[in-house]
Structure formats: C-alpha cells, structure tokens
Amino acid sequence: MASCITENLSSALQFNENKNPKVTYKIVWSNVVLFTSLHLVGVYGCYLTIFAAKVDTIIYAFGLYMLSAFGITGGAHRLWSHRSYKAKLPLRIFLIICHTISYENSVIRWARDHRVHHKYQETEADPHNAKRGFFFSHIGWLLVKKHPAVEAKGKTIDMTDLYSDALVKFQHKYISILGVLMAIIIPTALPMLIWNETFKSAYSLNVFRILAGLHVTWLVNSAAHLYGNRPYDRNIGARQNSFVSFVGIGEGWHNFHHAFPWDYRASDFGTLNLTLHLLNFFARIGWAYDLKIATPDAVQRRCLRTGDSNENDF
C-alpha cells in the first residue's frame, strides 16, 4: 500500500504544471450546447418544482436523485474505481442500475477518469485539475478538449478489471441506449402513467434531478479541492468539505479519501456519510464484503506526519 502511494506521488510530480507552457483550450461546442440545454431545462424544472409539479413527482424526483447518488458514490466510485470492497451480484446489479439513471456516462469511462485523477492529481494529466480554478474543475473540463497529457496518461491506466466484468462491460457497450432509456424515458413516463403528471413537469423535474446530481459530483472535483481543511495531508489539494459531504452523501471528506483511497468509508468517521451507512447495511445482509479500512493507528500516523491542523473546515 505504501508503494502504491509512493508511485502515485511520483507520477504526479512528473507533471509539475509550473514547468509546462500556458494552457490553451479547444472548446467542444457540442458539449457546450448539451450542457447549456440541460441547464435551461433544469432551471425550468426547478421553477415547476415550486409552482406546478405534484408533490408525488417532487418526492419521486428526490428518490431518483438519492438512488443515482448512491450509484455514483457506492458504485462507480468506491466499488468500481477503487475496489475498496467487494459486492455480490444482486448489489452489483442494483448499483449499475442506480449509476445508469444518474446519466453520468458508463462506469468504465467514469472510473478511468477518476483513476487518472488520483494518479496524477492536480497536474496537467488530471482531467479536472483544480489548479486551473473552480470553473474548470467543476464543469469547464467537460466543455473543452482534453489536455494531451490527460489522453496520454489515460491510456496507461489499467482497466482490465472492469473490462473483465460482464455487467460493467454490458453497460459500457450499450450506455447510449441504456442512458436515454433508464435516465430519461422511463423516469419521465412513470409519473405520467401512474399519477397523471403533465409531460412538462415530469420531464423537466427529471432533468432537474439529473442536473443536481451532476453538480454534486462536480463539487467533489471543485469545492472539495479548494475549500476546507487538510488534517491528513497538507501537501495535496483535496480537502475536508462538510457541505459537499452533506449533498454528496459522504463524498466531501476528500483529504482523507486522497490519503486513503482504498478505504471504503472515504472518511474515518460516520458523520454526513450516508454512503457508508448504506454499505454497512449491505454488508450486514451479506451483499457487500471484504470492506477495506485504514486502521486508526495508520490514520493517526498519517495525520502526525503530513496533516495540517491549523486550517478550519468549510
């Protein structure tokens, strides 16, 4: 484990951005149009949430948000990106469904970008390098062509574990169809069929909950790398951010996570970490097992060696 940490730090140091020329951006206009449209419809969905939608639809949209959030945090992130625990088939199926309704691409693409981010954090090879500012690390990185270093290093990441997973590979192969069907068509149709919601409310609120989920994921890349304290490692940008942990069901304790990425808890305490409690529940019923954790002694040693106790939490 120590050798893995050393390797990741060494890889990151090879890409000291101070030695690179000024970054130029090539805008991907199709993504600009897509995300602009998503925000326009999402804002309208927010308006309808307040003034027009049925209470059933609002509760339903919130439920979808929570399911998709767990698909990201417990699935794409802690299970498939970091292998911090193992899951039996029923839980893996549940998580892949939840991830698909989040409309955040396939697990394979999500995990590849995340693994590159950890190995080359806050360098030119980091897909959402926070050193380029809040906007870039939040959404800007999706609106421009990837830096050549990101593309080059992304090809070196070992993804054989995910390509050998039949369930994950199936989702990746058919994500274009599955994403539209499970994240847009079915979630929009159900309120119309079951409790006679209007199309505009059903569709717009569904887009709004997708948009909310995206922004929460992006906040981990932006706010949790810029605002908060660093009690475990003051040498990295990742921070402890309680607000992000609240909206992101446990993903904001980011300084801990980057110090111990293989820990299934993503924090060393349970406060504001709904994902942890859900995974513990699935462990109790036998669906999740081999949950990896950093020992209290290892955490304490890391805090004493590299932590900064002088900064306040966000």
Full-model pTM: 0.90
Tokens of 218: 């992006």
CA distances from 274 to 245, 247, 248, 280, 313 (A): 9, 10, 9, 10, 19
pLDDT of residue 310: 65
State which amino acid sits at residue 125: A
Is 15 part of a structural domain of the chain? no
The pLDDT confidence band at residue 5, using thresholds 50, 70 and 90, is very low
Structure tokens at 213: 């989920």
* Predicted pLDDT at 55: 96
**Quick one: CA dihedral 215, 132, 74, 278, positive or negative?**
negative
313 is a domain residue: no
Residue 19 located in a structural domain: no
Whether 291 maps to a domain, the answer reads: yes
pLDDT confidence bin for 133, thresholds 50/70/90: very high
Q: Specify if 60 maps to a domain.
A: yes
pLDDT confidence of residue 263: 97
Contact 49, 62 (CB under 8 A): no
pLDDT surpassing 50 at residue 1: no
pLDDT, tens digit (0-9, with 9 covering 90-100), for 31-78: 999 999 999 999 999 999 889 999 999 999 999 999 999 999 999 999
Q: Is 181 exposed, middle or buried (0-12, 13-18, 19+ CB in 10 A)?
A: middle
Answer whether residue 7 is part of any domain: no
Let me know if residue 5 belongs to a domain.
Answer: no
Asked, for residue 13, whether it belongs to a domain, the answer is no
- The mean pLDDT of 172-200, rounded to a whole number, is 98
Dist. CA 214–CA 236, nearest whole Å: 24
Q: What is the 3-state secondary structure (H, E, C) of the chain?
A: CHHHHHHHHHHHHCCCHHHCCCCCCCECHHHHHHHHHHHHHHHHHHHHHHHCCCHHHHHHHHHHHHHHHHHHHHHHHHHHHCCCCEECHHHHHHHHHHHHHCCCCCHHHHHHHHHHHHHCCCCCCCCCCHHHCHHHHHCHHHCECCCHHHHHHHCCCCCHHHHCCHHHHHHHHCHHHHHHHHHHHHHHHHHHHHHCCCHHHHHHHHHHHHHHHHHHHHHHHCHHHCCCEECCCCCCCCCECHHHHHHCCCCCEHHHHHHCCCCCCCCCCCCCCHHHHHHHHHHHCCCEECCCCCCHHHHHHHHHHHCECCCCCC
Burial class (CB in 10 A: 0-12, 13-18, 19+), 6: exposed
Report the C-alpha gap between 254 and 102 in whole angstroms: 21
Instruction: Find the domain containing 249 and state its range.
Output: 24-306
pLDDT at 3: 43
- Per-residue pLDDT band at 13 (split at 50, 70, 90): very low
Number of domains making up the chain: 1
Average pLDDT of the segment spanning 16-31: 73
Gyration radius of the chain's alpha carbons: 20
